[in-house]
Structure 1
């Protein structure tokens, strides 16, 4: 895998250069990237059409094709993300804290780049641009390895971004795309310890676990989203209906889409028929436990496997519980620590839910679909971390940095 080693070495060399750039220069480049993307829209769309045609020929599910498809609006959104990242505060050089020791040493803890970030991800071309924007602004180089489904789109996007780097006399190796989508190349990248400082996988839960088990470089787990919405006994049912419809149907194949509905038994008989009617236009397949099936006889009986499955499709499983404690226990047992929501007008219940639910993001009276770097004001995200070390939740600029201690002395020696 000599080619992978060469890519890694080039990225490491580029990371040093990018890590030294002043903030105005980085912002200027990001703005130019945004303009270049918009100007290249016809070329990018033509490449995306090749990917879409291949997906159709390979009978890829429609909801997955939605993740793959680009149009002028989505490219404009990518450009908007680049511009927003340019407006954000540069984390590099920021001082987290500073103090003076008894020995008179002046110590500051400062933000520094991670170095070389590798990403392995599936069929979402926007990840290519989001990752490039965030790694560049945070002073890192990035090695991208997208899925074969989006190869032509990713090549077109990466080419535009690299051309801008070259125009500014910066190393194109700061943003590299691996075009060999074989498993062997991916595995080589996962073991590129000499050059890669951290690997971020994005995709299904099974895919991420495969990366975690295979990689020897440090990995940040992201993305798997078996997300729940709990409708409390004290919920506004009209609000609950609207939130559930949005969380399930707006984009069902993304990781922050709702997969499971938990309902308090006091409101289930009133709420579930209303919800079923609201979901009918979207052709959502409903499954449920015996209590839910008693209210909605036409739905399928959920199996044990359903409760832990991330469908990424127009499927929703329903669990009826006797109280909020049972809801929390059920969610914590089956969730992927991504995003969970409670719909309630009971303040005590909302506080209990936010304190006891084990997840990166916990909502009160809002859709799980907001778990997104752009929505959180990060400009974009490189992933949504579902682990607890280093970073958790949507990962923006700060999550792509580490720290160093800078110690200023005046001749002190330790006694």
Structure 2
């Protein structure tokens, strides 16, 4: 490994089919008033809400509820959360749901006591809270695996008026203090949401894997995670209540984006930038925007990182190299990725997500261009990738 880094992750995890039994004790060190935030109400139908309320009562907490967090949390919803958190002077935020709900809780945690435009400061300008600024601590009960938000500082917010969807990665002070991961809590998800989470996990790994040229331990860890995701996904799409498969997917999702496998690496993240720009225009499911553009993107950059794409083909997909050029081997690996995307039922083209040809220039205009991958894209290249994803 050639990179220099500092690694710290303060989030305590409770994992397993009885993980929720730790929630009351985990809540004890924090203040009395808890802001409970969640999505559209599915947790009330599947029993998770009852488990959480029971734990909150057992811990002696006063609960303020903030439901209705949407799949792509908006600036308007953030401002609502800021108002509720301030008016009730909450001591802690407990997010119950998937990555969007946890992202939202983190956004409220850093924004609630900032007297200014939080969207502009934290997301547009990418600033961090200054030392001493009040940050409300966050905990999470995970009900959808994929984003890794339960063990990182990331928070993605959408501004429909500005046609922007921006992620901000905050430091350790914003990471959840704890997260409860019970794989059975994910069983009631619609299959499409499960599949979106599976590809989101895979994409997080790929974004970190397709960068750098040195012999990095981080890449060997990434390869193990990818192989696990592929194997478990094939079981889960056939039997969504296979506990072993769903537990492996949940655990892989957490480790895919808790910063470990990206240490010492430059990292790419352009699939996410393009996918988030699509989401700002269509509100399409995040994981599906990633699967929709990944194949075209990786075909586009393959020649710039050919050695890594050959390794990906051979190690992850078992491509036989004999008698083939490096280009042929690498291309077979991307073919295998595309076949797997279709096999599990993820989106393989962006037309199904509401993208039309007349949107491509505007989506490219909204795409943030990063420089960590094998090729720094320009506007025309982004349009070409989008066109090849239709």
Instruction: Give TM-score scaled by structure 1 length.
Output: 0.29
The structure in which a higher percent of residues are strand is 1
The structure in which a higher percent of residues are helix is 2
Instruction: Give TM-score scaled by structure 2 length.
Output: 0.30
Indicate the structure whose relative CO is greater, using CA pairs within 8 Å and at least 6 residues apart.
Answer: 1
Greater CA radius of gyration, 1 or 2? 1
